[in-house]
Structure 1
Amino acid sequence: MFFHPMDFIILIAFGLAMWAQAKVKSNFNKGSRNRASSGMTGVEVARRILDSEGLSDVRIELSRRGALSDHYDPTAKVIRLSEPVYRGNSISSLSVAAHEVGHAIQHANNYSMLVLRHKFVPFANIGSQLAPFLLIAGFLLDMLNLIGIGIILFSAAVIFQLITLPVEFDASSRARNKLLELGMITNQEERGVKKVLNAAALTYVASTLIAVLELVKYIMIFREREN
């Protein structure tokens, strides 16, 4: 009933997303086998970068959510690192830890795209929660108004994902620069850092692509039914 030619393209995008996820794990595992020449752990790297930026008020905690659950919480000013990153001294551990510090630096500097992303959170949450129900109901009942509202709400979630892309790329760029600037990696090790961070960024690109394609599909269906 909901099949549309765009579904073929979306399936390809899903395949890309699955490949990206596998790539992240593969690159992280490869990087985990390479000990950084500095011998520093993820938590040590995070603390040193934070202190170099005058961010002594940002805490670092051990995340209890398992591997690759690393994140920065701007409301509590806390960087939470998974155990392999927190205690590890590999290229992967340093890369992920520095990336999360990149977000803390963005927050401290009021990085414009991060500020916009935070402002968009309520709209994205409402959109992601309500849009699926409105779209399904609109298609089942053949009510264009419901479909239209669903598309508008879903658009908010898609815009949020688009805003997230430059935020993530910027955090990775800050991470690489600080690792080199503070001498925590060598120029040769930067290549490994790039692989880990680029693979992670690819997952955001793939998920955003899927969301954009789904939005295009809904808009096309809406216009077809409207005519």
Structure 2
Amino acid sequence: MSIGACNIISSFVLPKIVTHFSRVHPLIKVNLYEGNIDSLNEKLHNGTLDLILDNYPIDESVYFTVPLFQESLYVAMSQALCKKIENKYLVNSMTNKQLLSESPDEKSNKAVPFSIFHNTPFIILRKGNDTRIRYDQLCVDFNIHPPIILEVDQLSTAYNICSNHFGVTLVSDTLIKNSSSAKSLKYFQIDSKVTERTVFFHYPKHHYLRLAVKAFLKEAISIYAMI
């Protein structure tokens, strides 16, 4: 059985599932593939992959989807830059501990308009990535054009550069939960549904789903139902 995912999900989400699944089903071998959505979908259609776990919008007339969990995007930046924005706009940021522990209502009360970042230098993913799509949509919705100082291929790369006090970036709470650099940064929740997305498995409707794959999906859902 073969599963594909992007860098962040293959690094922090799939290992938990595969470890648990392999303990329950030790005779079933699981292969993991990492890549961008285009290369993964190509492997899915030629039969190299059984499933993809991702957050990229897909055509649900072509694919079956199995939602696994919700994740949110936040604007991350150094504490020095954050202090300037807080003082200028009288807004509240969050530490990584607050972000991960506060209730949705508490975080919602701190949500800020994306427009306050109109002059803030962004490190952003290249076009074709879901995070970039959402960044572009936020720019349209709030009618701003922040300066882009760097474009990269991976969310983890953008986050690590930001952690070295260079620019700001959009980052998922999935990465924040699992990053050792998270505590060095501050975070803003954006007042927009654009920052909310679903991480889900998908596979073509014309593909037969083997029993082993069905068992894997069942274990994955049970694991994330407990988190």
TM-score w.r.t. structure 1 length? 0.29
TM-score w.r.t. structure 2 length? 0.29
Rg (Cα) greater in structure: 1
Q: Which has the higher contact order (CA 8 A, sep 6+)?
A: 2
**Normalized per residue, which structure has more strand?**
2
